[in-house]
Amino acid sequence: MQDELIKKATQYIASTYNRFPVVITKGEGCWLWDLNGRRYLDFLAGIAVCNLGHAHKNIIEDLTVQAGKLFHVSNLFYTEQQIKAAELLTRHSFGDRVFFCNSGAEANEGAIKLARRYSWKKYGEGRHNIIVMENSFHGRTIATLSATGQSKFKEGFAPLVDGFIYVPFNSISAIEKNMNEKTCAVMLEPIQGEGGVYVAKKEYIKALRDITQKRDVLLIFDEIQTGIGRTGKLFAYQHYDIEPDIMTLAKALGNGFPVGAIVAREEVMNAFEPGTHASTFGGNPLAASTVVATFNTMIDEGVVNNSEEMGRYLKKGLLSLKKRFSFIKEIRGMGLMVGVELTIEGDKILKDFFNEGIIINCTNGNILRLLPPLIIKREEIDLFLDVANRIFEKYEKPQEMEKRI
């Protein structure tokens, strides 16, 4: 039955993804079930999306109640849910105004437009360049792909959008060298996710904030992956004692319901006037109800604290594995956004985890990316570490034998 369905999938669905060879039918907390009834521990959370786990009762309740009342009316009207969602987002962040959309790429696309428009209104033509980072990831639309600093995603899609200047991550001298009268913004992920879980240094972010502030160059944080509790704070910028001017969100914002947002300071967001930017579905009552439920649950149930604590626990366990296994090169990350860099290929190890009933991700060929739901418990992390230990042993043995020879 499962195999037949997968055959159909390859016949009818665009082959843009390498998928796990299972049809997932059900989720609960940190666990998933496939069509054959096999259970998996989810250390991916739908790529940092289901931060409250699967089938959380608060989200189900608010979404279904809202579905019974009103799906959509367009942004030509006000709706209670969207107002509540925007109020929550601004109350708990630096931002004053929110624009809702439907995905991460759409949020970044909007942020790019907003930065250009802000600068154009204040300084006129020509000040439109955005400094972005090498090894970054900002999305798959033409503009966000252009902003992305990894050539492998761009092959065959030229011509791309002009006006992006790529610099090495964590280098303040590269910023100084490349910032000029044409620069309107600097855009970066506080932790590069797709790129392999590389964390921005504190001194770097502080210096970056200083330079950008002095020149009225906007600082855009792409928190699509790092936001909503993932890194052990509600937003990753809060680790750095600074505030960006614009922040983009999506992934976990609706705990799995597709919704994105641009959050900005009032003066910045005011560069968008009626008619300058729009999204038909953006923040519709269904989407907004999931944002409200996600936010309230995060705060009421201490989920961000758990992310911080369990992140620390997971990292401690991984560091002791690193001592045992020489092919573990580095453990990186914050909260429950963790990268395990290997000196060997990660793909086979990912398959071993899958065969043992644990879902993880591998990025850039050799970096295991761990993104469990933020409600994860100690016992579930212990289970993961036990399995990891068992799998890693398979890969260490040949090396030990080589040494003996």
* Residues within the interface to ligand PLP (CB under 6 A): 103-105, 108, 137-139, 189, 193-194, 222, 224-225, 250-251
Q: In terms of CB distance, is 250 or 310 closer to ligand PLP? A: 250
Nearer to ligand PLP, 89 or 143 (CB): 143
Q: Which residues pair with 47 in a beta bridge?
A: none
Helix (H, G, I), strand (E, B) or coil at 84: helix
Under 8 Å between Cβ of 93 and 235: yes
CA dist 206 and 229 (Å) reads 21
Least spacing, CB of residue 383 vs ligand PLP, in Å: 27
Cα angle, residue 186 at apex, residues 185 and 188 outer, rounded to 5°: 140
Helix (H, G, I), strand (E, B) or coil at 136: coil
* Nearest approach, Cβ of residue 377 and ligand PLP (Å): 25
For ligand PLP, the closer of residues 208 and 328 by Cβ is 208
Please give the residue whose beta carbon sits closest to ligand PLP in the complex: 104
Pick between residue 42 and residue 380 the one whose CB is nearest to ligand PLP. Answer: 42
Residue 194 beta carbon to ligand PLP: minimum distance, rounded to whole angstroms: 6
Asked whether the beta carbons of 262 and 89 are under 8 A apart, the reply is no
Residue 205 CB, shortest distance to ligand PLP, in Å, is 16
For ligand PLP, the closer CB: 102 or 212: 102
Shortest CB 146 distance to ligand PLP, Å: 13
Minimum CB distance to ligand PLP, residue 223 (Å): 8
Residue entry with tokens 């090169």: 329
Backbone phi, then psi, for 382, in 5-degree steps? Answer: -60, -45
160 within 8 A of 101, measured Cβ to Cβ: no
Nearer to ligand PLP, 104 or 149 (CB): 104
Which burial class, exposed, middle or buried, applies to 389 when counting CB atoms under 10 A from its CB (0-12, 13-18, 19+)? middle
